[in-house]
Amino acid sequence: MNLKEKIAAANDQAVNELIDANPVWVDILPAGEVIEGLEPNMILHSGPPIEYADMVPLHKRGMVSGALFEGLAKNEAEAVAKLENGEIKISSALDHNTVGAGTGIITSSVAMMVVENKKTGIRAATFPAEGPFQGGLCGWGLYTEEIAANLRYMKNELFPVMRELIHQRGGLPLKPILAEGMQMGDENHTRQTAADLLFIKQIIPDLLHMNIDKVTLLKVMDYIVQTPRFFHCYGQGASMSALLSAKGTPYSTMTVAFGGNGVEYGIKIAGMGDEWFTAPAMMMKGRYTSSQYSEKDQLPWIGDSCVVECAGLGGLAAAASPIVCNLRGLKLKDAIALTREMQEICISSNHNYPIPNLDFDFLPSGVDIRKVLKTGISPEIHGGMFNHEGGLIGAGSARVPMMCFEKALKAFAVKYRD
């Protein structure tokens, strides 16, 4: 086969890993037991690799917060010193089998939701929502005694019950929830309202049949029911387990990772292993929560939750959720047009996700760097807008920088030159 034929065959193989993936929630385990390569003195972060000195203040604070929570330092000054001299290691979440949503602060003792792609046996781990209150360590990079106590409470009181539940039922398939949720108005990045309800419908009856005391039962139920966007971590885990299954496919030009750290935004390509291709992190466009905010208050893109777009959800599924697009002042026809545009840069379509607003046509799947550069169309990604201090100040979208694709194709050409 010539190079063009090899790429076509590889892309067909890679995109079918996304389409045929069977993600199932199977366990809850400490990060140190399930994240490959995570060391006890290591803290993970979102986006491409970056040195502590080069991080935005929000990420620096997250690193210090992680060190304090994990007991790697006694105080902030000691944490900073150890981060600067390398005694505390720093690593990108997407260089492991996990996802760094928001700030993506993950340490070895944090409890993680484990999603296994039953087709390949590959597992991805994602940190759960930290309850109904705003703020937290993993996604927001915050540390207080209350936040630390809440994480311990979740790990020691709530999660043993949920772990027993998921073991008793032999796992919870996630693809049916994603598929039905997207027929009910979710795009599974900014919005998981339907998925939350579908998840609750399956889990609560099993929970009620467990032999546990009423006080514990109500605590677990309150956590599941009252936590906004509870399903978000599962959507990321499902996406990551599928993308990891496609990663390493020789000759494939399909993207397998998206993420930003507030300084740079980066992508990975199936045929290029763990090599990053980066550009300056972009700003989001959308609606702010208050008129007091403007672009000067907004941090450039930070977070890895856009792996869901890489897997064909989120911004690529805009047509499924016009209510999300309405947050940016768009209409239904605009949401449909966005997904139709994304079809131009994807390898295939995913028959698991028929969308009513597309006349039950299927969602695009598998972003191809060659098609991005040929058409000049970059992937649409949804997300929340952080301010420089870490608060959420709005919701909107952005386009992956074209420079990422240009760098990727140049490196691909060198590696696979005939």
Kindly report the number of other CB atoms within 10 A of residue 200's CB atom.
16
Query: How do residues 265-297 score in pLDDT, each as one tens digit?
Result: 999 999 999 999 999 999 988 887 778 888 888
Query: Could you tell me the pTM of the whole model?
Result: 0.95
Query: How do residues 145-184 score in pLDDT, each as one tens digit?
Result: 999 999 999 999 999 999 999 999 999 999 999 999 999 9
- SS3 labels along 154-196: HHHHHHHHHHHHHHHCCCEECHHHHHHHHCCCCCCCCCCHHHH
Measured in degrees and rounded to the nearest 5, phi and psi for residue 315 equal -60, -30
Q: Provide the pLDDT for residue 134.
A: 59
Regions of the chain short of the pLDDT cut 70: 133-134, 418
Alpha carbons 261 and 80: distance in angstroms, whole number = 19
Query: How do residues 35-53 score in pLDDT, each as one tens digit?
Result: 999 999 999 999 999 999 9
Q: Provide the pLDDT for residue 132.
A: 76
Q: Among 75, 70, 59, 61, which Cα is nearest to 30's? A: 70
Contact yes or no for 355/320 (Cβ under 8 A) = yes
Alpha carbons 307 and 91: distance in angstroms, whole number = 17
**Residue 72 burial (CB < 10 Å; 0-12/13-18/19+)?**
buried
**Position of tokens 């996630």?**
174
Looking at the DSSP bridge assignments, the partners of residue 167 are none
Structure tokens at 108: 């070895």
CATH numbers and ranges of domains, the chain: 22-234 (3.90.1710.10), 249-415 (3.90.1700.10)
Whole-Å CA distances, 102 to 30, 60, 193, 269: 19, 13, 19, 22
Structure tokens at 346: 């994807």
